[in-house]
Structure 1
Amino acid sequence: MATSSSYEKFEIRKRNPDPKTSILLVIDMQNYFSSMAEPILPAIGTTIDLCRNASVPVIFTRHCHKSAADYGMLGEWWNDDLVLDGTVEAELIPEVGRRATGDGEVMEKNTYSAFRGTRLEERLREMGIEEVIVSGVMTNLCCETTAREAFVRGFRVFFSTDATATSLPELHEATLKNMAYGFAYLVDCKRLQEAFSMKK
């Protein structure tokens, strides 16, 4: 989604993920967010395929609310216009390619961070994961918050520039600047392909 490269001046640190200790997080690629998600479906698909081919595990998150009791501040902020569990809007977009064979578990969350109220951190520790690659929607909300939390919890973070999206280009760009400045190494499909091919 990046239409300019103004974030590049903040990208002074460069590194490639290690497929042996990495996981791909595919954040909230759900029907509710389809208008934002559809433009990056090719990049998301490529990112997932690259990771699977490099034996990098994939975890999908699904943002949903069971009732008004778990809205928290999101209910106030978004006037209760939220993703309700059990609706079509809450389901993952079929094109993200989650396999029914257990390849790519799904974690449910009810706030911006994939770490809050889930077992994500415990699951990653159990798997021996040290690095997370963040993709999905929305760049500046759930993706950014998850990336920041991963960083402060001691995980090395890689943030996709072309497999993340949000409602406005300037919000996307602002997050990439923040990520490059203080939280994550930026990657795209091309960089992932080069990184994983070097590890073979």
Structure 2
Amino acid sequence: MENSYADYETRRRNPDPRNAALLVIDMQLYFQGIASPIIPTIRRTIESCRAQNIPVVYTRHSHRDPSDYGMLGEWWNEVIHDGTPEAEIMREVNKKEDDKVIHKHTYSAFYNTDLEKYLRGQGKTEVIVTGVMTNLCCETTARDAFLRGFRVFFSTDATATSNKDLHDSTLKNLAYGFAYLVNCQRLEDAFAAKVSA
């Protein structure tokens, strides 16, 4: 069956391992129910990127107190509290001791964090976005990266949200104006082709 976003995917490109960083967005215990189905593909994506010496950056969304809730406190019935088990990154995504972790308290991983400074310092001009939720933190981070001048690659099978409609709507929007769509297999094939070239 053809993907519902195929009509919008008019541009195709693969990331350059020399210029790319992998962003693993909010793979925390709080989101375990949503995130569990993509664990196999996100792990494969992480392993593929590590094999290409692409740095892996994890984000962790949580709130210390009501002063940093912002509009999320109004929008949602509950927030993730820092220091609770739900705020911790899932062990299944294989975070290494020296991987960069970005603590954030809103949808974008760039807002009031040092993510852009870190990426620029590493000489990275491209980001590959994976994680949860497709239509909230992943999409907002992808759009923000685009506006900051990063080339954005967005995973179709290593991102997840609460339903297919929201997931596909994000993929359509991003393919139309912000990001090159990739999936785990496409990344593996692209990296293998670079190695053999």
TM band (smaller chain): over 0.9
Q: Please identify runs of 4+ aligned residues in structure 1 that moved more than 3 A.
A: none
Equivalent residue, structure 2, for 1:115:
110
Pairing 1:4-23 to 2, within 5 Å after superposition: 5-23=3-21
Q: 1:148, 1:155 → 2: CA distance?
A: 10
* Structure 2 residue identity aligned to 1:198: A
Aligned partner of 1:195 among 190, 193, 196: 190
Partner residue of 2:25 out of 24, 27, 42: 27
Q: What pairs with 1:1-200 in structure 2 (closer than 5 Å)?
A: 5-79=3-77, 81-100=78-97, 102=98, 104-200=99-195
Displacement, 1:105? 1.3
Distance in 2 separating the partners of 1:16 and 1:136: 19
Separation in 1, partners of 2:115, 2:103: 10
Q: Distance in 1 between matches of 2:54 and 2:136?
A: 24
TM-score by length of 2: 0.97
Kindly provide the CA deviation profile for residues 156-192 of structure 1, in whole angstroms up to 9, marking residues without a partner as x. 0000000000001100000000010000000001100
What SS is found at the alignment partner of 1:14?
coil
Letter in 1 for 2:64: K
2:100, 2:144 → 1: CA distance? 20
Q: Deviations over 1:39-63 (max 9, x none)?
A: 0000000000000001110000000
Cα deviation for residue 4 of structure 1 reads: 5.9
Structure 1 residues not aligned, in runs of 5+? none
Shift of 1:144: 0.1
Q: Aligned partner of 2:53: which letter?
A: S
Letter of the 2:19 counterpart: T
Total equivalences in the alignment: 195
